[in-house]
Amino acid sequence: MERTNQTTRAIALSLEESQRSKTREIITIDDDDDDDSENNEQTRYQADLQTAIKASRATAQEPQSIPSQQIGGPRAGQHKTGPSSFLAERAKLEKERLERQKRLRGGTSLGDDTDRKDPQSDTESDVSMGEPPTKKAHLSNPLEGMSVPSVSAGASSTSDTKIFWDGELRQTATRFAEPRKDGQRTFRLTQVLGNKSELAFAILSSYSLDFPWIYEFFDRSVPVIMVAQPDAMGQAAIKYTFPTWVKTTPPLRGGFGCQHMKFMLLFYKNGNLRVVISTANLIAYDWRDMENSVWLQDLPMRPQLMPPDPKAKDFPSIMQQVLHAVNVAPALRTMLPDHPNIPLRTIEDLRMRWDWSKVKVHLVASIAGKHEGWPSIVKTGHPRLMMAIRTMGLRPSRGLGKGNMIIECQGSSLGNFTTQWLNEFHWSARGESAEDWLDEPKRRREKLPYPSVRILFPTKKIVQESASGEPGGGTIFCRRKQWAAKNFPRDKFYVSKSKAGPVLMHSKMIIATIQHTNPASASLNREGSDTEEDEPEVKIIEPAVGWAYVGSHNFTPSAWGTLSGSAFNPILNITNYEIGIVFPLKDDAEANRVACFERPPRKYTTNVDEPWIQEESIYHQPEAS
């Protein structure tokens, strides 16, 4: 009874706050890359905190918006939070991160990302996870049976919830571009969740959270496990936040990094399971103002249990590893005594009880920590991406040279790019093993030219001319210090512009296209190596145009990982927990349709275009004390 009363009071306070804080949202938060100085982080945190306080007291009018239920919000009359709860949550996360840094570094100033070393290795503290796919491609064409998720059709309807048996990829609806300029369909949060009366259980994951806001989308009786950002100590923890909600947090090595995954596992009373991979946090701002990406697929329950297979490397087995890594197993055990009838009793039930045979995309995850040795390395970060590309049959021939693949990387946060890391990532993006270069001297790798990479990021003009203007650019991150660095790859930058209209994007996406100089020579290299020991055999006759990635990974070392060590004993360090999907693209038309940005992207014009740098905007300055 006491917990119920506390919940009621919390929701009432949130409703009261939302009535007070109807003001134009100027969202300013810290990014998910841990690569700035402590003084700057302190300044940004104080600015965020003051903005949150100010927003909670504001009484100005909110800009014109369409009804919240049309953008995935609760029905009219239900609670609708302003920016204060969102900012307070992000400010809390930032405060905890600063506390970890103070504790571990004794208050010393932080250097660049490249200067901060992992305490257990000689590389920067970045690490990721994902596992090699299991399904063997016995195809003459890599696209056969591996089609891209539908972007419009393929849905059937049961009650009030549409069913997507073949998978569906869409951008989210925003109040600034509805309908979309390109005419493509969108997802709202209510569509993603389906009819809430049909839900039996859910597992959700988000970096930034507005608990009272997301709570309104669920019936009070539905048990929910929420995977969230750890506290300042980076300790794994489990606690009840609402009567039927359990919050769980994974560990962060040394207190660094963030739990950046955005996914949902939605279990329905009719036995179906919906799997959702998203780029949106569970906050109103991400589902209303910023454009994001969502992939989902519905799965039926098997008529009979599938026997467990500890050697499996398919989508559900990787998802199970993710759930173990982010501390869901103990949360599930905590929940079972009060909810004995939930459809998932153990994490291993996920693969055994539901039919995953129609899931054709590959799961790529990053698990924060240090990973050592090839069996571990190929399960995580960009080496896992490499294995997925090989399984899809999209590994270009070595004979085509380094410039044979162009990757276009769209995100909302930039890292401190070096030629070493960009070549490292590009090597994996081509499906090539790091064994080929790990033993080369570091000095030689430092002198390599930049690979065929296009980094998509909005210019200052794009932000200013968007519907939300500069106030809406508070979750897009590039710093003057990064941009002005001597060896920063400024000539690799391209304009990020949404196909939907004048809206800013929070989507993370990579479009990779293979440039074959001689298609007849594009056969797989079958030289033996540790990374190829369990690689499925794939025969290529007509190569695909490339592949696409959609998920939580920004294009940074913190998200994808950094390799060191030797070809015999590699070491991969990843800072963040991340998750996404990879799938093949059959032609340029499909690449253009899947991309959330206008293609081909326009290259920055020297001395004319500059990236959006929020710290230089008058809307994102710390208030004077």
Give the number of other Cβ atoms within 10 Å of residue 310's Cβ.
6
Pairing of strands 245-249, 263-268: unpaired
Q: How far is CA 437 from the centre of its chain?
A: 28
Query: Among residues 79, 260, 426, 553, which one is catalytic?
Result: 260
In terms of Cα–Cα distance, which of 267, 282, 293, 252 is closest to 203? 267
Predicted local distance difference test score (pLDDT) of residue 468: 96
Asked about 260 being catalytic, the answer comes back as yes
Asked if residues 201 and 341 have their Cβ atoms less than 8 Å apart, the reply is no
Predicted local distance difference test score (pLDDT) of residue 61: 38
Q: Which residues are annotated as a binding site?
A: 262, 508
Predicted local distance difference test score (pLDDT) of residue 395: 86
Asked if residues 506 and 466 have their Cβ atoms less than 8 Å apart, the reply is no
Predicted local distance difference test score (pLDDT) of residue 77: 37
What 3-state DSSP class applies to 69?
helix
- Domain extent listing, the chain: 2-115, 155-363
Asked if residues 388 and 586 have their Cβ atoms less than 8 Å apart, the reply is no
Angle between helices 2-20 and 83-105 (to 10 degrees): 110
**Spans in the chain with pLDDT lower than 70:** 1-148, 150-160, 397-403, 516-543, 624-625
Predicted local distance difference test score (pLDDT) of residue 92: 63
Distance between CA atoms of residues 545 and 547, nearest Å:
7
Any idea which fold 155-363 has? Answer: Endonuclease; Chain A (3.30.870)
In terms of Cα–Cα distance, which of 286, 267, 266, 31 is closest to 171? 286
Instruction: Return the C-alpha torsion angle 529, 533, 539, 544, nearest 10.
Output: -70
Whether the full predicted model's pTM is greater than 0.85, yes or no, is: no
- Residues facing residue 162 across a β-bridge: 157
> Rounded to whole angstroms, what are the CA distances from 69 to 23, 80, 188, 209, 366?
19, 11, 9, 19, 34
Query: Among residues 79, 382, 426, 506, which one is catalytic?
Result: 506
Asked if residues 519 and 543 have their Cβ atoms less than 8 Å apart, the reply is yes
Predicted local distance difference test score (pLDDT) of residue 622: 81
Give the number of other Cβ atoms within 10 Å of residue 483's Cβ.
15
Q: Which residues are annotated as a binding site for substrate?
A: 262, 508
Pairing of strands 237-242, 245-249: antiparallel
Q: Tell me which DSSP letter residue 133 carries.
A: -
Predicted local distance difference test score (pLDDT) of residue 474: 93
